[in-house]
Amino acid sequence: MKDSRHFRVSALLSACVLSLIATAGWSQSLTWLGRLGGSESRAYGVSADGAVVVGYANNAAGDWHAFRWTASGGMQDLGTLGGDYSEAYSVSADGTVVVGSAENAAGQRRAFRWTALGGMQDLGTLGGDWSYAYGVSADGAVVVGWAENAPWYHPAFRWTASGGMQDLGTLGGRESYAYGVAADGAVVVGGSNNAAGQRRAFRWTASGGMQDLGTLGGNYSEAWGVSANGAVVVGAADNAAGFRHAFRWTEVDGVMRDLGTLGGGYSRADGVSADGTVVVGWAYNAAQQPRAFRWTAAGGMENLNTTYANLLTPGSALWEARAISPDGRYIVGWGYNAATGWEAFLLDTQGCASENGDVDGNGCVDEADLLAVLFAFGSTLGREDTNCDGVVDDADWLIVLFNFGSGC
């Protein structure tokens, strides 16, 4: 009798889960993020789970304001520091800390760090009037960018709550700009003028200072992104022929690799996955149109408009990819939405990658996967949404339970 009841319960559970799977949408997706009442929006940062996107958009008055987007709340205007303008450029891994630049009441641009609890915090300058924040560590504790000093030069900075704004120096010139920071905040990348006035990509550490990463044969380079451990740096550099191409530099060999283009004369790499294997940015195609790209060693540079053509309506195009989530799944940037105009986008390149219940992707469906779904209850996006219906709920927990023990 007991065995019979157990069989009926198992069969019922199997039928429920199979029904959930049958009705779920196991597909990749492209989400246009809207605007703040104006005509344009651009995305520059994405949280680790793809649930939070940051950037800037113009409002009905035509002023650009920083935004923080979530699927449930839409595009939230983060305001300013008293002026008319703000831009958000990066977000912490959990989506709670946003950094960028905003205008104060005196009309000066200031680097800011935003949290829901504290609002927009002015990070100050190095003695001058202006500053910009472009990158933030995974935990939101370290912010990097550039700021004016008292002689009105623009050195790169690294900010912490305890240490304030630290001047990172230059490569011999008067200016440097920090654009990216490693997950733990220990490695900073950007561009700096050397003694000859030429811009060079740099990689900074506390022990080694500012290291010149060279070029692709020309006189210019700038670094825009760095892997989680600081070992892979991406950006753009001039080659010997004077063309500016995306590059990928690795600490292992200290070599800057040309990532090519999409048929035109220009490309730029802006973001890189945590392990350094996936690079995103934008490049000109043969018609000299800017197009978002993804690069891997195996596949080279691929046009995202071609790879995900099935997600685009006629006339729409992804122009620039600006950031990628640590696992390489989510890509954000901006493009042209044929229905509305210039708009920020969120591209989910995997769809429901955890449809078998392996939420953490380690090959084994176990207690960790059950707990991950439990702690994510009610949220949207992320691998915890195993049936891809837009919300983490008991249906996702059932799928993990049904597959419990597989692969272990």
What pLDDT shows up at residue 288?
Answer: 95
Name the more confident of 356 and 350.
350
**CA distance readout (Å), 264 to 191, 239, 244, 299:** 24, 14, 10, 18
What pLDDT shows up at residue 203?
Answer: 98
What pLDDT shows up at residue 243?
Answer: 97
Are 247 and 269 spatial neighbours (Cβ–Cβ below 8 Å)? yes
What pLDDT shows up at residue 406?
Answer: 85
Residue 193 has pLDDT above 50, yes or no: yes
73 by DSSP, 3-state: which? coil
Please, what is the average pLDDT of the chain? 91
Residue 130 has pLDDT above 80, yes or no: yes
Strand 37-46 relative to strand 52-59: parallel, antiparallel, unpaired?
A: antiparallel
What pLDDT shows up at residue 351?
Answer: 65
Q: Tell me which of 117-131, 135-149, 270-284, 353-367 is least confident.
A: 353-367
Q: List the domains of the chain with CATH numbers.
A: 2-24+356-402 (1.10.1330.10), 29-348 (2.120.10.30)
Secondary structure of 252-299 in HEC code, one letter for each residue: CCCCEEECCCEEEEEEEEEEECCCCCCEEEEEEECCCCEEEEEEECCC
Q: Tell me which of 85-89, 173-177, 359-363 is least confident.
A: 359-363
Interatomic CA distance for residues 262 and 301, integer angstroms: 7
What pLDDT shows up at residue 381?
Answer: 59
pLDDT band at 249 (very low <50, low <70, confident <90, very high): very high
Query: What mean pLDDT comes out for the span 294-298?
Result: 97
Give tens-digit pLDDT for 13-39: 444 444 444 444 446 899 999 999 999
pLDDT band at 44 (very low <50, low <70, confident <90, very high): very high
Residue 225 has pLDDT above 60, yes or no: yes
Q: For residue 394, report the phi and psi dihedrals to the nearest 5 degrees.
A: -65, -25
What pLDDT shows up at residue 297?
Answer: 96
pLDDT band at 181 (very low <50, low <70, confident <90, very high): very high
Query: What mean pLDDT comes out for the span 186-210?
Result: 98
What pLDDT shows up at residue 358?
Answer: 83
pLDDT band at 314 (very low <50, low <70, confident <90, very high): very high
Query: What mean pLDDT comes out for the span 349-364?
Result: 73
Residue 122 has pLDDT above 60, yes or no: yes
What pLDDT shows up at residue 166?
Answer: 98
What is the pTM for the complete model shown?
0.85
Q: How many residues does the chain have?
A: 408
Give tens-digit pLDDT for 133-151: 999 999 999 999 999 999 8
pLDDT band at 45 (very low <50, low <70, confident <90, very high): very high
What pLDDT shows up at residue 357?
Answer: 81
Amino acid, res. 371: L
Interatomic CA distance for residues 330 and 346, integer angstroms: 7
pLDDT band at 3 (very low <50, low <70, confident <90, very high): low
Query: What mean pLDDT comes out for the span 307-315?
Result: 96
- Cα torsion 286, 291, 292, 293 to 10°: value is 0
pLDDT band at 355 (very low <50, low <70, confident <90, very high): low
What pLDDT shows up at residue 11?
Answer: 45
What pLDDT shows up at residue 391?
Answer: 82
What pLDDT shows up at residue 1?
Answer: 46
Are 105 and 82 spatial neighbours (Cβ–Cβ below 8 Å)? yes
Query: What mean pLDDT comes out for the span 279-285?
Result: 98
